[in-house]
Amino acid sequence: MNDFDLRVLKNCEKHKMVSKGDKVLIGVSGGPDSMALLHFFSESPLQLNVEAVHVDHGLRESSAADATYVEAYCRTHHIPFHLLHADVKGKIEETGKGVQEAAREVRYAYFDQLMKETGAAVMMIGQHADDQVETILFRLMRGTSIRGAAGIQPVRSLAHGKVARPFLAVTKNEIEQYCEQHDLKPRRDPTNESDTYTRNRLRRHVIPLLKKENPQIHEAFERFSEELSEDNEWLEKQAENALEDVCVLKSRELFHLSVEKFRSYGLPLQRRMIQLILNYLYAKVPTSLSSAHTRAILDLLKQAHPSGDIHLPEFMTVTRSYGNGYFHFQRETETDPYCYLIDQEQLIDLPSGEKLEMRAGEIVPDKPYRDLYYVSESFMPLTVRSRRDGDKMRLPDGKGSKKIKDVFIEKKVPVRLRHQYPVVTAADGRVLWLPGLRKAPSDGKSAAYTLIYY
């Protein structure tokens, strides 16, 4: 076994990419990197069950010939073959995204779908050490976080498995030599020789200069990537703990934090808390979101002026209202009024993304919750609804009542969130509870039920 083989297998072992006998999908474009990857793991001592995956993006005249080439190779070597004719142009028209981003989304969606269908544990991609250098340089030029500056991760999760990159341990030149040694005749993408794209210019002009200064530049970048990844992993865990402390309320559509507590943490944790919140709220974080947005959010939460807004891509808004910070989605139209009868043991999904549940007896739930309200039988049946003009709540000790509108102002709930805030009422229409904000006085009778706000 030569040095190339040992380094690739050691990389697999180090990052727990595969186990002996695993079913593995390999993305094969027909180029040198992917053909070497397919050949290597088809012949490796790991005895993997290898299947090839090719995506024809339909963007080049030679794309059909690439698909034919890969399919023929797989047929000759008895390797199961999967082919997708992708409608990348349709994706671009639908989403307005760039060619490379749209193609990547289509490709990875197909990879994930195939992993689910085939039961494969791993999807392997042929990115190598030179790709790592290129990616780190590219991201640093654009401006990125520490996570981004760490470059390509050897392993990352998909919904139905993981993506692994065993060739990050070897260089482009070593892969070309591997192809020659094993008489592989890969396809060549002519667009790689063009200077149209920034990445191509880095690959063709900048990286050769770096290699001239330091022939082992890829090893230096690998160490840089690993150390940054390790530092970032530790900081992320600290940020997760900090985020639990600053969180006042969260749902799938809203994250409410204490500005005072947020400001008590150092800047590195503040930045990461913002990223964690955005990752939580966005189903898929927009590529247009950048470090400039993070800086703007930090300025908003730390400024002397007590209020303001920052608008982010895809209708996300960050609102500062005195001591409260809100990350929320600003839709084009407000939520329609709603009204639900609260039944025992029924979990109600509220329009704002929160959940409400009623259980018999006076209990404390064994899972995380945001607020509780104990209620007697005399108030039944209960209703949860959106607020209405003129809504009021009784104050403690018979001190009269207060308008719900004034409670929202007092608690500094942003105007745009008030229309969907849940209001729990008794059978006679009295407002009993604004979850997380205020409770009306009890009637002095024993609690028959517990309302739980998640």
Residue 30 annotated as lining a ligand binding site: yes
Residue 330 has a CB neighbour count (10 Å cut-off) of 15
Note the pLDDT of residue 153: 95
Count of domains for the chain: 3
Burial tier of 165 (Cβ tally within 10 Å: 0-12, 13-18, 19+): buried
Query: Do the domain assignments include residue 240?
Result: yes
What per-residue confidence (pLDDT) applies to 331? 57
Specify the pairing of strand 392-394 against strand 401-403.
antiparallel
Low-confidence ranges of the chain (pLDDT < 70): 95-97, 287-288, 330-335, 352-353, 398
Query: Whose CA is closest to 422, among 300, 228, 249?
Result: 249
In a domain, 307, yes or no: yes
For residue 121, the enclosing domain spans: 3-215
Domain match, 154 and 272 both = no
Residue 51 lies in a domain: yes
The DSSP secondary structure of 115-151, one letter per residue, reads HHHH--SEEE----HHHHHHHHHHHHHH---HHHHT-
Do residues 109 and 15 both lie within one domain?
yes
The per-residue pLDDT for range 85-95, each reduced to its tens digit, is: 998 888 777 76
Q: Distance (Å, rounded) from C-alpha 70 to C-alpha 32?
A: 12
HSE-CB of 360 using CA atoms within 13 angstroms: 1
Helices then strands, each counted (H, E), the chain: 16, 22
Model pLDDT, residue 267: 95
**pLDDT tens per residue across span 161-170:** 999 999 999 9
Q: Is 231 annotated as a binding residue?
A: no
The C-alpha atoms of residue 189 and residue 48 are separated, in whole angstroms, by: 29
Residue 34 annotated as binding?
A: yes
| Residue-level pLDDT at 410 | 84
Residue 325: per-residue pLDDT: 94
Count the neighbouring beta carbons within 10 Å of the beta carbon of residue 174.
Answer: 19
Compute, in degrees rounded to 10, the torsion defined by CA atoms 239, 245, 248, 251. Answer: 40
| pLDDT of res. 369 | 80
Specify the pLDDT at position 74. Answer: 97
Do 129 and 72 lie in one domain? The reply is yes
Listed residues 268, 298, 329: the one ending a domain: 329
352 assigned ligand-binding residue? no
For residues 17 and 143, state if they share a domain: yes
Same domain, 88 and 209: yes
Residue 275: strand, helix, or coil: helix
Helix (H) or strand (E) segment spanning residue 58: none
Single residue among 215, 250, 273 that ends a domain in this structure: 215
Whether residue 31 is annotated as binding a ligand: the answer is: yes
Tell me, yes or no, whether 68 and 146 share the same domain: yes
Q: How far is the C-alpha of 24 from the C-alpha of 387, rounded, in Å?
A: 54
Give yes or no: residues 309 and 352 share one domain: no
Q: Say whether both 449 and 408 belong to one domain.
A: yes
pLDDT at 333: 47
Q: Which residues of 332-361 are buried (b: 16+ CB within 10 A; e: fewer)?
A: eeeeeeeebebeeeeebebbbbbbbbbeee
pLDDT number for residue 230: 93
CATH of the domain at 271: 3.30.465.60
Q: Is residue 221 part of a domain?
A: no
CATH number at residue 118: 3.40.50.620
pLDDT of amino acid 196: 80
Residue 332's pLDDT is 47
Whether residue 344 sits in one domain with residue 325: no
Look up tokens 């900048």; give the residue: 206
Of 306, 329, 352, the residue that ends a domain is 329
Ligand-binding annotation for 288, yes or no, is no
Token pair belonging to 357: 């549940």
171 and 35 part of one domain: yes
